[in-house]
Structure 1
């Protein structure tokens, strides 16, 4: 399996053509794992595609600094993650990891690690020395982040709405010094 992890380029037509695939992975993770990821059922693919178009526009714009990393396996989008670099004068060294999602079709192949390695490499180059992230308590992702060197900070009870049943779920927060 040949992995190709790259930074999404909002000026590249081939990359822009992948926006529906970003939405499809987003939907698959919500439907398969009941991942708390922005949307709840019933899921509207067109709405999620528009959301991703806004993320891409945000990544290209000057207001916020987002870097979208994507992994392709045999020319098919397998997963992605976002590095959000807030333009804070008091914390230019902090970054936030957002939306690490891997297609259920490509799991257990090292894609999450590959994406996070690339994200951390770029974060270091960009001057981020502290990364923060959160994930649903009890989710498979909660077990992944410590394996990648992230330290559990704690949890906030009843933080997000579960797409499965609308119940409120706890969220666990992590950090890592690079």
Structure 2
């Protein structure tokens, strides 16, 4: 049996956003149904997910929300992540990782780490030195954000230098899921 091909994240062009919304909505609905901590509760279907993604259109068009996708060889969307930049004068050094999700059928292959690395590298190129994110304490996603130092250590919230030079990630873990980006 041959190994599954490694899926590569690609930045979604703003011009392609509307055409991609149905696939993004299906992915979001599948991830929520599978229990992912994304700020929504089941039941949450593709129609509600599409509404959420459509509400992001202005931010994508303005370049304030950068989105990456990764597709399987058959063209189906396997994962996505967003990087929400800020135009606030006192916030140009920070951004937020939003809606990092991998389809349940594409998990455990390193795709989430590759999506996160793509967002981190772009954040660094934008001069961002602080990345924020929210996740649920005890969730499967928490380990991805903890880094090699593990939970509870002073350096557990800093991404290793090999992941993104000069870009620290502050992981805010919560017992509930905020409805923010």
Check whether TM > 0.5: yes
Q: Which residue of 1 aligns with 2:29?
A: 27
Structure 1 residue runs without a partner (length 5+):
162-178
Root mean square deviation, CA, Å: 2.3
List per-residue Cα deviations over 1:103-162 (Å, max 9, x = no partner). 001011111111111111111111111111110011000111123786176655x5438x
Q: Secondary structure at the match of 1:3?
A: coil
Superposed, which structure 2 residues align to 1:43-122 within 5 Å?
43-61=44-62, 65-74=64-73, 75-122=75-122
Structure 2 CA distance for partners of 1:82 and 1:153, relative to 1, 3 Å:
closer
Structure 2 CA distance for partners of 1:115 and 1:23, relative to 1, 3 Å:
same
Structure 2 residue runs without a partner (length 5+):
150-155, 158-169
Structure 2 CA distance for partners of 1:22 and 1:138, relative to 1, 3 Å:
same
Aligned partners of 2:20, 2:11: CA distance in 1, in Å? Answer: 13
Count of residues in correspondence between the two structures: 155
Deviation at 1:2, TM superposition (A): 4.2
Higher strand share: 1
Aligned partners of 1:4, 1:16: CA distance in 2, in Å? Answer: 21
Q: Which residue of 2 aligns with 1:10?
A: 14
Q: Which residue of 2 aligns with 1:39?
A: 40
TM-score (normalizing by structure 2):
0.76
List per-residue Cα deviations over 1:5-63 (Å, max 9, x = no partner). 11111213xx533211111111111111x22323223223212112112213321137x
Aligned partners of 1:138, 1:3: CA distance in 2, in Å? Answer: 27
Structure 2 CA distance for partners of 1:155 and 1:47, relative to 1, 3 Å:
closer
8 Å CA contact 2:146, 2:171 repeated in 1:
no
Q: Once structures 1 and 2 are overlaid, which stretch shifts more, 77-86 or 41-50?
A: 41-50
Structure 2 CA distance for partners of 1:153 and 1:53, relative to 1, 3 Å:
closer
